[in-house]
Amino acid sequence: MTQQEKNFEGSLKIRLYNTKSREVELFQPYFAPRVGIYSCGMTVYGYAHVGHIRTYTNSDVLRRLLEYAGYQVTQVMNVTDVGHMTSDEDAGEDKLELGARREGKTPWEIAEFYEDHFFSTIAECNITRPEVISRATEHIGEQIGLVKRLEDNGYTYKTDVGVIFDTSKFGRYAEFARLDLEGQEAGARVAVDDQRRNPQDFALWITNQPNHIMQWNSPWGRGFPGWHIECSAMAMRYLGDQVDIHTGGIDHIPVHHTNEIAQSECATGRQYVKYWFHSAFLNVDGRKMSKSLNNLYTLDDVRARGYSPLALRYLFLNGFYRRDMNFTWEALESAQRGLARLWGACAELPAPTGVVIPGFIEKFESAISNDLNTMNALAVVSGVLETKGPPESKASTIYKMDEVFGLDLANSRTRLSDFWRLRGLRPEHKMQAESMADKREKARKNKNFSEADRLRDRINNMGFQVEDTPQGPKIVPMFDFDFAAMRKPVCGHCGVDEKTGC
Ligand SMILES: [Zn+2]
């Protein structure tokens, strides 16, 4: 440890809920100012949906906060491209091969396609691309090495399936997820392999499936790794034996993360992860997301309905990462309106000077560093906009906070026009409405109020409202208006179709 590392104190004390202790703790990484984060990534056999986007948005807010506080973050995310079984148990059909057969492609083509889709999805949602993206198929050697260590340490046995981890040899196995092992054993858990010593035991290396397309040589014969081993192997390869933060969805607590802890700690004899960060579920219309309910909405669905990807981010920031959230299109609409208003307000601000308005940053930091209270932190932004301060300083204050929010507020003008284009609004519509607003202004000055009213109605018919501001009338598009239906050019005089108009 260097002197600098020993003396590092993040300017901001961050308090985080740790699944391991079930308590909110003061965050202190192993070797400040460096922080290693391992994030469970995608199994690339299908599209990322809004539930995935929520999980990765939450971990992105965490990494942005750490960087805001001065830490040097290295985030590693795996890509599960080997294909593992359809359930957490090792039975059933391989997800990747299932997808390959469905689409008439090889598993490698499937993996590549969905991996690209996933990373473009998270990029559009302003989710920081991890420093290291590690594919399971490119780390087979590391996985075999780890299984070998576990075998040498006496934690494995062999069955017809392959090499199995003996969970009864790891005394703390039930601790992390507070599992009731005896209750489970007594229950009607499906026996997937009658040679297994304990119901929780899981495969590290599978050798009994010759029809599986992806196979590699190993000390135990040709086969492929179990799912859990890849995360332990790749986390240790890139972040060392001890990882500061591990992120994922809460559904991973009882099996996947429990097994990761068992594998890693039995191999190294040391604590694997210091802080476990888990995101709660996202339901859709009050129900669990599932293929059969046809509610696995993707970012393409979100865009097709006229919402910007960042509206999703704004929606998620308005909830608490540890609380389940219910996704509805109405909720997204109201999030989109809120964000468009915020972009609208920020678009009016001049360039920032770097001088912040006192008081607000402190409020923001105390909310966000308190286990990521994004709702309260966002409320501070409205406070800044409402305050009477120099607009340049308002911009500096808000953009500083946006380093953590990631709503791209510094590019509000572009974001806002992209959003309205998504809703079918074309620049010429707005220009026409603006020229009508000028005429209306003249009519009002000439006290020709009936003409002014007539023009206002025309402007409304084109989907705009006239807001009278101290700087003069402002044209604002209406959220409820169907701009996409206005395909034909409109008459600049009356706002009706050019041919049939006045
Ligand atoms: Zn994982």
d(CA 307, CA 118): 18
- What domains can be seen in the chain, in order of their start residue? 3-14+32-279 (3.40.50.620), 284-419 (1.10.730.10), 424-485 (no CATH)
* Distance between Cα 115 and ligand 1 center (Å): 16
Going by C-beta distance under 8 Å and a sequence separation of 6 or more, which residues neighbour residue 101?
A: none
Q: What is the pLDDT of residues 166-183, one digit of tens each?
A: 999 999 999 999 988 776
Beta strands 472-477 and 464-469, pairing class: antiparallel
Going by C-beta distance under 8 Å and a sequence separation of 6 or more, which residues neighbour residue 103?
A: 110
* Distance between Cα 89 and ligand 1 center (Å): 15
Q: Pull the structure tokens for residue 486.
A: 């206005």
* Distance between Cα 383 and ligand 1 center (Å): 40
d(CA 57, CA 316): 8
* Distance between Cα 78 and ligand 1 center (Å): 7
* Distance between Cα 72 and ligand 1 center (Å): 22
Positions of the chain with pLDDT under 70: 1-10, 83-95, 183-193, 487-502
* Distance between Cα 41 and ligand 1 center (Å): 7
d(CA 123, CA 125): 5
The pair phi, psi for residue 371, each rounded to 5°, is: 55, 40
* Distance between Cα 242 and ligand 1 center (Å): 15
Nearest to 402 by CA among 313, 322, 282: 313
Burial (0-12, 13-18, 19+ Cβ within 10 Å), 361 = middle
Q: Pull the structure tokens for residue 120.
A: 């473009």
Whole-angstrom CA distances from 88 to 79, 104, 259, 285 are 17, 25, 11, 26
Q: Please tell me the predicted confidence (pLDDT) of residue 86.
A: 44
d(CA 405, CA 382): 14
d(CA 65, CA 363): 15
* Distance between Cα 44 and ligand 1 center (Å): 13
Residue with tokens 């805001």: 68
Q: How far, in whole angstroms, is CA 496 from its chain's centroid?
A: 43
d(CA 385, CA 401): 13
* Distance between Cα 135 and ligand 1 center (Å): 12
* Distance between Cα 38 and ligand 1 center (Å): 8
* Distance between Cα 234 and ligand 1 center (Å): 10
- Is residue 437 classed as helix, strand or coil in its secondary structure? helix
d(CA 395, CA 413): 13
Q: How far, in whole angstroms, is CA 6 from its chain's centroid?
A: 32
* Distance between Cα 37 and ligand 1 center (Å): 12
Q: Please tell me the predicted confidence (pLDDT) of residue 396.
A: 98
Beta strands 273-279 and 282-284, pairing class: unpaired
DSSP track, 260-310: HHHHHHHHHSS--EEEEEEE--EEETTB---TTTT----HHHHHHTT--HH
* Distance between Cα 235 and ligand 1 center (Å): 9
* Distance between Cα 222 and ligand 1 center (Å): 23
Q: Pull the structure tokens for residue 407.
A: 């709503």
* Distance between Cα 113 and ligand 1 center (Å): 20
- Is residue 160 classed as helix, strand or coil in its secondary structure? coil
d(CA 471, CA 468): 8
Q: Please tell me the predicted confidence (pLDDT) of residue 497.
A: 56
* Distance between Cα 211 and ligand 1 center (Å): 25
Going by C-beta distance under 8 Å and a sequence separation of 6 or more, which residues neighbour residue 133?
A: 41, 76, 77, 78, 79, 119
Read off the amino acid at residue 236.
Answer: M
* Distance between Cα 231 and ligand 1 center (Å): 5
* Distance between Cα 18 and ligand 1 center (Å): 17
* Distance between Cα 402 and ligand 1 center (Å): 29
Residue with tokens 């590693």: 76
* Distance between Cα 322 and ligand 1 center (Å): 19
* Distance between Cα 133 and ligand 1 center (Å): 13
- Is residue 256 classed as helix, strand or coil in its secondary structure? helix
* Distance between Cα 229 and ligand 1 center (Å): 8
* Distance between Cα 57 and ligand 1 center (Å): 17
Q: From the CA atom positions of the chain, what is the Rg in Å?
A: 27
d(CA 423, CA 427): 12
* Distance between Cα 80 and ligand 1 center (Å): 9
Q: What is the pLDDT of residues 70-102, one digit of tens each?
A: 999 999 999 999 865 444 444 456 667 777 777
Q: Please tell me the predicted confidence (pLDDT) of residue 487.
A: 60
Q: Indicate the helix (H) or strand (E) that contains 327.
A: strand 325-327
* Distance between Cα 143 and ligand 1 center (Å): 13
Q: Please tell me the predicted confidence (pLDDT) of residue 470.
A: 80
* Distance between Cα 353 and ligand 1 center (Å): 43
- Ligand 1 ion: Cβ-proximal residues, 5 Å cutoff: 40, 231
DSSP track, 121-140: HHHHTTPPPPSEEEEGGGGH
d(CA 119, CA 67): 21
